[in-house]
């Protein structure tokens, strides 16, 4: 009976094999197999068993090698992940135990690191995607640079690297915000200018970039360098156009106002173009009203100016003569004599000759009017003092007449008013010397400064003042002599009354009749039409006649002394 191979140790499997061999021996016995065949078959069985063991051992060795390789790969991957994540503080040990135990310990750590790596890669991808997107928007490439996801370098997934990317992203986001603000500012400015100048805002902006009007498919407004450059160019161009239109309208408005003034255009007609005349003193930044600089407005004003120029040409003669009237009125107001008829005839001859530019003639007359106004202004102070002198002289004349009225104190209507006027007139007359003195000083200073005499209605005002002063002095002397003579006569009458007992009446009456009075003489002032000539004549002929000698005594006819003689 064949025994089991000695290399097989007793075990449950070997027991089973032995039992099977016994059963096989029984079968062989029944079959009648020879011992040689039996040994041969047993050797084959033993060889097959050994081959199976060898394969199993080989497989087990391979499994061990695989486990060791996997463990090494895990450790290598962990080291690589730790390095890429920059987890320098991370420490790891495989631990003790069998290979499977070590693998079971290291696998969760690796899974955790893989998850962390995946999350980090996701952050890198998102950050880089946003960077690429903003860079594409700034570059103006649009969707072309956003078609594929950016490649992430997984060899460097450190927090520092991620921070640098996020910092760069923040800078780009800030730049994007600034660019968007510039774009919005430019669009707002274009809209404002389009409102003022009445042009198509949507057409202008959409011609720069379609996204500026209607961003589609989530696309934001274009912020590229090209878009910003175009927007800046359009804004500058429109601002220059606005400045140009405003200057043109201001020029037209000034011309319009000049024509209105020339043609005496009524306020209702001017009110139609009030929106244009109000722009004359406006700066370019102040003009914001809708359509105020539209081409239709400019064309409308140009047509109005053309129409008024045609009307101006037809009314030029009337305008020139109107200027002459204004010039003459200024001179008359300050008592400067002008030869109106000769000046008008010269102007009419110039207009009818067609050899003179009427616009230049009007401009020349405007210059003359301005010069006349300046001359009138330089004479104003003196003329005010002349008016004061004239008024005081008139009051002096009235006061003389009033004091010669023997019935001035009798009861009647208006007596109290005359008394008050006389009181004021005396005060004013007392100031006449100082008024004349100040006026004379002013006149001399004016003539010294101008180098010409001050004429008042063709006459020298200084000569008039000098003659007035001489005549006034003569009148004062005459009044003084009259008062002295009256005093002597009253003294003589008093002596006669003391000698003869009663005052003779007739000689007194005769004396009063014979005494010359100055009431017939009046001092001329500038209010007279021929002041200077009258003053000269009166100075020559106004001497006092029939003055009674101081020692003259009138006696009545029935005086005894006269009869005795």
Which of 332, 446, 334 shows the shortest CA–CA distance to 380? 334
Instruction: Tell me the backbone φ, ψ of residue 281, rounded to 5 degrees.
Output: -100, 10
Q: Which helix (H) or strand (E) holds 158?
A: none
Helix (H, G, I), strand (E, B) or coil at 453: coil
CA distance 17 to 192: 105
CA distance 359 to 365: 10
pLDDT of residue 213: 76
* Encoded tokens for 405: 């009225």
The b/e string for 183-220 (b: 16+ C-beta within 10 A; e otherwise) is beebbebbeebbbbbeeeeeebbeebbebbbeeeeeee
| Spatial contact of 301 and 276, defined as CB atoms under 8 Å apart | yes
| Spatial contact of 263 and 304, defined as CB atoms under 8 Å apart | no
Would strands 455-456 and 459-460 be described as parallel, antiparallel, or unpaired? antiparallel
C-alpha atoms less than 13 angstroms from C-alpha of 375 in its C-beta half-sphere: 20
Q: Is 146 exposed, middle or buried (0-12, 13-18, 19+ CB in 10 A)?
A: middle
Q: How many residues does the chain have?
A: 565
pLDDT of residue 545: 37
Helix (H, G, I), strand (E, B) or coil at 142: helix
pLDDT of residue 232: 92
pLDDT of residue 88: 66
Q: Which helix (H) or strand (E) holds 419?
A: helix 415-430
CA distance 533 to 457: 13
Q: Which residues pair with 456 in a beta bridge?
A: 459
The b/e string for 52-61 (b: 16+ C-beta within 10 A; e otherwise) is eeeeeeeeee
Residue with tokens 């064309």: 299
CA distance 280 to 257: 10
| Spatial contact of 228 and 180, defined as CB atoms under 8 Å apart | no
Helices (H), 141-263: 159-197, 201-206, 225-263
pLDDT of residue 479: 81
Instruction: Check residue 547 and report its DSSP letter.
Output: P
Which of 461, 467, 470, 471 shows the shortest CA–CA distance to 383? 461
Per-residue pLDDT of the chain (565 residues; tens, 9 = 90+): 444 444 444 567 678 878 888 888 899 888 888 888 888 888 988 898 899 989 999 999 999 888 888 888 888 888 888 778 877 666 666 667 788 888 888 888 888 888 888 888 888 888 988 888 888 888 877 555 455 567 777 777 888 888 888 999 999 999 989 988 999 999 989 999 998 888 888 888 888 877 777 665 556 788 888 888 989 999 999 999 989 988 988 898 888 888 888 778 888 888 888 888 788 888 888 888 888 888 888 898 899 888 888 887 777 777 788 888 888 888 888 888 777 788 878 887 877 776 777 777 878 888 888 888 888 888 888 888 888 888 888 888 888 888 777 777 776 666 788 888 888 888 888 888 888 888 888 888 888 888 888 888 888 888 888 888 888 888 888 888 888 888 888 888 888 888 876 555 444 433 333 333 333 334 445 544 344 444 444 444 443 333 333 333 333 333 433 333 3
Q: What angle do CA 277, 281, 287 make, to 5 degrees?
A: 80
CA distance 138 to 353: 74
CA distance 237 to 239: 5
Residue with tokens 């910092």: 167
Q: What is the DSSP string of 24-66?
A: HHHHHHHHT--HHHHHHHHHHHHHHHHHHHHHHHHHHHHHHHH
* Encoded tokens for 326: 């204004």
CA distance 30 to 333: 173
- What pTM does this model have? 0.49
Helix (H, G, I), strand (E, B) or coil at 460: strand
Helix 340-353 and helix 316-333, axial crossing angle in degrees, nearest 10: 160
pLDDT of residue 174: 92
Q: Which helix (H) or strand (E) holds 459?
A: strand 459-460
> Which residues lie below 8 Å from residue 492, measured CB to CB, with a gap of 6+?
553
Helix (H, G, I), strand (E, B) or coil at 512: helix
């Amino acid at each position: 009976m064949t025994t089991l191979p000695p290399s097989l140790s007793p075990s449950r499997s070997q027991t089973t094999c032995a039992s099977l061999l016994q059963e096989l021996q029984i079968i062989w016995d029944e079959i009648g197999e020879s011992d040689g065949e039996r040994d041969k078959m047993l050797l084959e069985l033993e060889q097959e068993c050994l081959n199976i063991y060898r394969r199993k051992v080989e497989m087990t060795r391979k499994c061990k090698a695989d486990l060791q390789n996997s463990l090494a790969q895990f450790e290598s991957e962990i080291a690589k992940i730790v390095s890429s994540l920059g987890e320098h503080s991370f420490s790891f040990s495989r631990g003790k135990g069998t290979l499977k135990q070590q693998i079971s310990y290291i696998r969760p750590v690796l899974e955790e690191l893989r998850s962390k790596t995946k999350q980090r890669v996701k952050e890198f991808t998102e950050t880089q995607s946003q960077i690429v997107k903003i860079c594409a928007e700034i570059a103006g490439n649009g969707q072309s640079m956003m078609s594929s996801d950016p490649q992430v370098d997984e060899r460097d997934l450190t927090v520092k690297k991620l921070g640098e990317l996020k910092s760069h992203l923040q800078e780009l986001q800030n730049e994007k915000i600034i660019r968007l603000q510039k774009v919005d500012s430019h669009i707002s400015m274009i809209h404002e200018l389009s409102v003022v100048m009445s042009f198509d805002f949507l057409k202008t902006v959409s011609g720069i970039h379609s996204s500026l009007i209607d961003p589609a498919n989530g696309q934001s407004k274009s912020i590229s360098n090209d878009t910003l450059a175009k927007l800046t160019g359009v804004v500058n161009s429109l601002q220059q156009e606005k400045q140009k239109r405003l200057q043109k309208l201001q020029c037209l408005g000034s011309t319009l106002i000049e024509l209105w003034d020339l043609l005496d255009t009524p306020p209702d007609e001017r009110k139609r173009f009030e929106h244009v005349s109000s722009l004359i003193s406006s700066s370019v930044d102040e003009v914001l009203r809708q359509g105020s600089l539209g081409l239709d407005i400019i064309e409308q004003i140009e047509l109005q100016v053309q129409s008024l120029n045609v009307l101006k040409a037809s009314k030029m003669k009337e305008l020139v003569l109107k200027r002459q009237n204004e010039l003459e009125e200024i001179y008359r107001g300050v008592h400067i004599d002008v030869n109106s008829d000769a000046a008008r005839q010269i102007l009419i001859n110039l207009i009818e000759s067609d050899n003179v530019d009427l616009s230049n003639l009007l401009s020349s007359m405007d210059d003359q009017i301005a010069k006349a106004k300046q001359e009138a202004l330089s004479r104003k102070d003196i003329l005010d003092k002349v008016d004061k002198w004239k008024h005081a002289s008139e009051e002096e004349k009235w006061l003389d007449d009033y004091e010669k009225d023997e019935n001035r104190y009798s009861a009647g209507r208006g007596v109290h008013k005359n008394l008050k006027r006389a009181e004021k007139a005396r005060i004013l007359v007392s100031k006449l010397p100082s008024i004349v003195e100040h006026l004379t000083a002013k006149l001399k200073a004016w003539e010294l400064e101008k180098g010409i005499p001050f004429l008042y209605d063709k006459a020298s005002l200084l000569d008039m003042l000098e003659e007035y002063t001489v005549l006034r002095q003569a009148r004062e002397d005459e009044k003084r002599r009259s008062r002295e003579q009256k005093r002597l006569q009253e003294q003589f009458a008093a002596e006669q009354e003391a000698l003869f007992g009663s005052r003779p009446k007739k000689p007194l009456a005769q004396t009063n009749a014979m005494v010359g009075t100055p009431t017939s003489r009046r001092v001329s002032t500038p209010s007279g039409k021929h002041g200077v000539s009258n003053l000269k004549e009166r100075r020559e002929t106004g001497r006092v006649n029939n003055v009674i000698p101081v020692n003259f005594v009138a006696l009545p006819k029935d005086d005894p002394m006269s009869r005795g003689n």
